[in-house]
Structure 1
């Protein structure tokens, strides 16, 4: 039947009909993606309440305890800070107790709450929550390499050699990509005005201070095709960003990934300000430089391997 219709319709009409069909499929898939996200995702901070599901409770407590860790890892944290965080912890920790939740994230949230109160009252930084980073060499071998890389939010002002940035990109280009299309792009901003401009569109860098270099990772959407690849640019961009961070680490540089979870109007303004084409999807920013001597890092506890690794059950 389809073959007969194709034979009967003029080529121009057939092309138009296929275009309409493709657009309808794209819209349907976008709606289904949105509905799935709305169904399962946790609410924003402002909507956090005692009605959160168990996983949503974990999401909110984890977000808030990590905010304390990050805040106390800055070179000059505000004092006091975290009124909203403290309010949510005071609301949700009793909820976890009432539900009998005894997972690690609850303990981390409790210690972060104590650390926040201590900082606000006395100006003391809890080493348990935001420890001074060990001066660990980037050892040869998987364990030393992966364990020694930490997100840094307190940078030394010394400049980063352009050659190291170029070398990091050369290494990161080895990232796998769908059908080897390699759609990634990265821009490095070292000029103070450019750094300030690009960071003004990101909402998680307050307090980090003077970042020597800001990287902006994008993906060329023209190198993806069809409805089935609608999420591929974000996957490709995430893979490349992680490869770039590991490459920087291997070259002795520190970094901190800065998410770009922003509405379209912010992305549009960033494109206009920095001259980024419309077809490039903005993935994330990355702060790059050398950690200041004696800098602190967020505790950032890791999940147990047994929780992440889902083993197949034997029949």
Structure 2
């Protein structure tokens, strides 16, 4: 059969078809490998493992950190979600104990939420109060959380400092004043960020800078994770990555890796230019992805990496504490 094919068709044609078929198969096989691994190890289904449960606790306590730092925090916000967080904490303590640092911080944020409403003489719902009693009776050690109060001057005081101080000074900002950012400042930040390393220097990243307030609000409404502060953004930057410069199954995730490295460099560059930023999640469903591609004039060959809400900070504002793990937890030295 093979000899017959080589007699009928040119050698180059057969090799082209063979390579194309083989590549299609390896791409399918690789994505199927990703699918199985994600299904098995993510917390998309039952949360049975310690890392799955603490991941959800961190995700949910951060909702309240953000809420407590909003320009105008809405009294009574998120009470059903608070009950979910409390029950997740209780479940974690029952299964794994109360020594996990992020678990302790979650409890501290819950207490901060309770104190905030007490200070503002706001009566929480009876169901919320009952669940707060459950967490308070545990007497978990540690101070009550307190979101950071910052001034505009203090926020940018280390932009010319050594890198360690500069890096630690950057926080996600969720409060902007009504002042226009000069486009020259944005383009200067883009010039700095373009030095980001990339696989074989392919520079797959693309940025879209939106200035029209009505269009920005339309985009942010679809994004959905900017309630309470998105309307204050002066500029919106969308970072994408071009799939067309990558090939073969082994590069299937490279667009996200290179795009993510560029995103962090751009956030640092914007901070250096004294522009406040908040990166916004672009982990879209297929339906949302298609809507945003059309609305943002992004080609189908590009994948969304992140949206960045930009603006100048007000004279005084709050920042989420968002404590980090000790490096001994997240890093291993293998010799």
Give unmatched runs, 5+ long, in structure 1: none
Range moving further from structure 2, 223-232 or 273-282: 273-282
Distance 1:207 1:30 in 2: 37
Aligned 8 A contact 2:111 2:145 in 1: no
Residue aligning to 1:177: 198
Aligned 8 A contact 1:82 1:116 in 2: no
Residue aligning to 2:49: 53
Distance 1:154 1:234 in 2: 28
Number of aligned residue pairs: give it.
Answer: 306
Give unmatched runs, 5+ long, in structure 2: 122-142
Q: Quick one: which of 91, 105, 108 aligns to 1:108?
A: 105
Cα deviation digits, residues 100-159 of structure 1 (max 9, x gap): 2311111111011112223345448x9933221251402420222011111000111101
Cα deviation digits, residues 209-263 of structure 1 (max 9, x gap): 3101110001111111111110000001101110000001111111111011111
Distance 2:320 2:180 in 1: 24
**Cα–Cα, structure 1 residues 6 and 226, in superposed 2: closer, same or farther, change >3 Å?**
farther
- Corresponding residue SS for 1:105: helix
Q: Quick one: which of 226, 236, 259 aligns to 1:214?
A: 236
**1:155-194 pair list within 5 angstroms:** 155-194=176-215
**Cα–Cα, structure 1 residues 129 and 6, in superposed 2: closer, same or farther, change >3 Å?**
farther
Q: TM-score, normalised by structure 1?
A: 0.90
Residue aligning to 1:149: 170
Distance 1:67 1:115 in 2: 13
Would you say 1:259 and 2:281 are equivalent positions?
A: yes
Tell me the C-alpha RMSD between the 2 structures: 2.3
Distance 2:203 2:291 in 1: 26
Aligned 8 A contact 1:86 1:113 in 2: yes
Distance 1:7 1:232 in 2: 37
- Corresponding residue SS for 1:114: helix
Measured after TM superposition, the shift of residue 13 of structure 1 is: 3.4
Distance 2:5 2:67 in 1: 62
Measured after TM superposition, the shift of residue 96 of structure 1 is: 2.6
